[in-house]
Amino acid sequence: MKKNISNWLAVGAASLFLFSACTGVKHNTLTPEEEAEGWQLLFDGKTMNGWKDYNGTSLTQPWHAVDGCLQAKGSGSDGSGYIVTEKQYENFELSWDWKLTKGGNSGMIYHVVERPQFKTPYVTGPEYQLLDVPNFQGELEDWQKLGVDYAMHLPDQSKMKVNPYGEWNNSKIVFDNGHVEHWLNGEKILEFEAWTDDWHKRKNSGKWANAPEYGLAKKGVICLQDHGDPASFRNIKIKELPRKAGKEIDLFNGVDLAGWEAYGTEKWYVKDGLLVCKSGPDKKYGYLATRDYYDDFDLTLEFKQEADGNSGVFIRSFVEKDVKVNGWQVEVAPKNHDTGGIYESYGRGWLVQIPDEKENILKEGDWNTMRIKVQGNNVQTWLNGQEMVNINDEKIGAGQGRIALQIHDGGGIKVLWRNIKVKTL
């Protein structure tokens, strides 16, 4: 009991120190020049407006606004204590002031995806680690220390100029269409490119090897972490940067499965320059998913059905445990089974089935060309040059994720694919 009381008093004293230290100079404002450049405040200095629980609709987590600071009360944990912006952000400069208590631990996480399947923000969003390293109680790996891209990239220690706990520091993240920078007190300490071969190698060989969707999202909410230590933030501001669209990508090189990740025990291989999907002995669902996310895009591909051609192309999808791809499927199936229609893999089932008179557009035993255009809420599909579906759906509009090819369960399926090309919009 005495130990619990002393711990409570220590946390209370630390919190009071932070609370009292936030007064003084006027903060949480933008200069006319910043406003002209497009900067926006994420904290008004007075309220928690614009923030909510991760995966929630309101604010119940241990945070509050006091004396011009956005403060973590220090009662969070690895599984709780996260708050996120109500708005999503894609490309940006994000700047903030922060102050920790002795040995304090917190973080700024971005591109966070909110879905019930993701219990914590960090399994999807990269983190700029905030930590009082000299006074932290416990062993630390280098990839856990201040300024790191958590468990991925390390900062240049020679450029680290850190004010001690109880004093203010400033950090900045730049995310510009995959180019990432970490700044600390006016110095660039870290720089890397997201979604390169090197990036994916780091992702798949370390802490995130069992977090298939980590870091793939190109947009998401911004998250602050209460990791069990009081922490203060102020002058949290962001400037959005434009998306660079119009990139054309060959998703299949005709040689190997580079750029793809297979899930399940079904067969995916390359033969004679063609991508082959074939049922395996388990006769279960199988998927071949792009390793990167594609949200707004124009996709063309060719397919030829051999044996049972029950397959599909998933859009804005993500991988769940137990080999399940969650998203929307553009159907690829034998005649009279709605090739080009759209099926939701959870919840609503068929969103659009094609008219009966369009079933003859599919060429059995021959090559077919499919085009899928996804932009915002709108999805259009074409089969052999003829429009099959044109749908607007808010749930699809809110989604993001991978492109994935499917093998249906039941066995006996074989489909050939070629000329898989995508243009970002």
What pLDDT digit, counting tens, does each position of 235-262 carry? 999 999 999 999 999 999 999 999 999 9
Same domain, 229 and 271: no
Assess whether pLDDT exceeds 50 at residue 27: yes
Same domain, 254 and 190: no
pLDDT, the chain, mean? 93
Question: Given phi > 0 = left and psi -120 to 50 = alpha, else beta, which region is 78?
Answer: alpha
Domain count, the chain: 2
How far is Cα 183 from Cα 370, in angstroms, rounded to an integer? 45
What's the pLDDT at 15? 47
Assess whether pLDDT exceeds 50 at residue 13: no
Burial 218-244 (b: 16+ CB within 10 A, else e): bbbbbbbbbbbbbbbbbbbbbeebebe
What's the pLDDT at 425? 97
Same domain, 379 and 307: yes
Average pLDDT over residues 339-361: 95
Assign residue 408 the CATH number of its domain. Answer: 2.60.120.560
What's the pLDDT at 22? 57
What's the pLDDT at 62? 93
Same domain, 292 and 360: yes
The domain boundary, picked from 217, 240, 263, lies at 240
Same domain, 188 and 213: yes
Backbone phi, then psi, for 264, in 5-degree steps?
100, 180
pLDDT digits (tens, 9 = 90+) for 189-238: 999 999 999 999 999 999 999 999 999 999 999 999 999 999 999 999 99
What's the pLDDT at 16? 47
Range of the structural domain that residue 267 is part of? 248-424
pLDDT digits (tens, 9 = 90+) for 144-187: 999 999 999 999 999 999 999 999 999 999 999 999 999 999 99
Same domain, 252 and 232: no
The domain boundary, picked from 176, 211, 240, lies at 240
What's the pLDDT at 1? 35
